[in-house]
Amino acid sequence: MNFREGDYILLVCEDRRYLKALTKDFSLNYKERVIRFEDIIGKEPGYFINGFYVLRPTLEEIILLGFQRKTQIVYPKDSFYIAFKLGLSKGKRLLEFGVGSGASTAVFSQLAGEVWAYEVREEFYKLAKKNWEKFGLCKNVKIENLDFMSADVEENFFDAVFVDVKEPTLYIQKVWKVLKFGASFATILPTTNQVSNLLKSMENLFCNVEVLEILHRPYKPNPDRLRPQDTMTAHTGYLVFARKRI
């Protein structure tokens, strides 16, 4: 579909990428180049003008370039993998607590049938909702401004859980109770000692435990000088996966 007023667009100029709303007063300058509303409106995605490619943003680009962040977010390299490890599909109900800026929820909600989400801090609860509404995301997410420990949820209710809080060990008994037998658990933790504490607390409650990290190493896409970029994000977090056992 051709671009219309109000669409979000991704502009690519050399190695720069910009995510912008296509409003009547839109214009962008980079070096000597300029691109305006009237250059884009009615054009097809992939169009090239004045040194800019005009595209529709993917979910990854929306999260990385369009979401306002006031917390650490789960980066798409991790959240897309977590979504598959959780076995999400339209028939599944996911529990998530520690919603923060709403980045990981935006990924999971695309694959899950419904998401029950809890965020204890009001400012982040509002921020996540604002990020989702801006891009029309997370319509199947039921979010509450609540500490997960106060959430009133049935036992054996969820098919999967994603936990993104500092000390998941504090919640592990309740998490176990609200999951169905065999359901999937996932979390992300920045340090190995947090992982060790969590593993101890999971003994006799969970099976099929896996710990891993994802190294994402982008390359400069020059066919004659193909090589990795000079800098990379070396660490985001350790991912822990497990299944609820009897």
Ligand X SMILES: C[S@@+](CC[C@H](N)C(=O)[O-])C[C@H]1O[C@@H](n2cnc3c(N)ncnc32)[C@H](O)[C@@H]1O
Residues that bind ligand X (CB under 6 A): 71-74, 97-104, 118-121, 124, 147-149, 164-165
Report in angstroms the alpha-carbon separations of 241 from 184, 193, 219. 7, 16, 29
User: Smallest distance, Å, CB 77 to ligand X?
Assistant: 12
> For ligand X, which is the closer residue by CB, 36 or 177?
177
> For ligand X, which is the closer residue by CB, 99 or 141?
99
> For ligand X, which is the closer residue by CB, 11 or 104?
104
User: Tokens in use for 139?
Assistant: 């319509």
Closest chain position to ligand X (CB)? 100
> For ligand X, which is the closer residue by CB, 7 or 164?
164
User: Smallest distance, Å, CB 60 to ligand X?
Assistant: 13
Query: Taking a C-beta distance cutoff of 8 angstroms, is the pair 83, 37 a contact?
Result: no
User: Smallest distance, Å, CB 161 to ligand X?
Assistant: 12
Q: In b/e form, how buried is each residue of 163-177, taking b as 16+ CB within 10 angstroms?
A: bbbeebeebbeebbe
User: Smallest distance, Å, CB 134 to ligand X?
Assistant: 14
Q: Which residue in 14, 57, 10 sits closest to 33, CA to CA?
A: 14
Q: What is residue 196's three-state secondary structure?
A: helix
Query: Taking a C-beta distance cutoff of 8 angstroms, is the pair 178, 158 a contact?
Result: yes
User: Smallest distance, Å, CB 73 to ligand X?
Assistant: 4
User: Smallest distance, Å, CB 136 to ligand X?
Assistant: 18
Query: Taking a C-beta distance cutoff of 8 angstroms, is the pair 61, 17 a contact?
Result: yes
Q: Which residue in 99, 97, 92, 152 sits closest to 123, CA to CA?
A: 99
> For ligand X, which is the closer residue by CB, 9 or 127?
127
Say how far apart CA 69 and CA 76 lie, in whole Å.
14
> For ligand X, which is the closer residue by CB, 57 or 100?
100
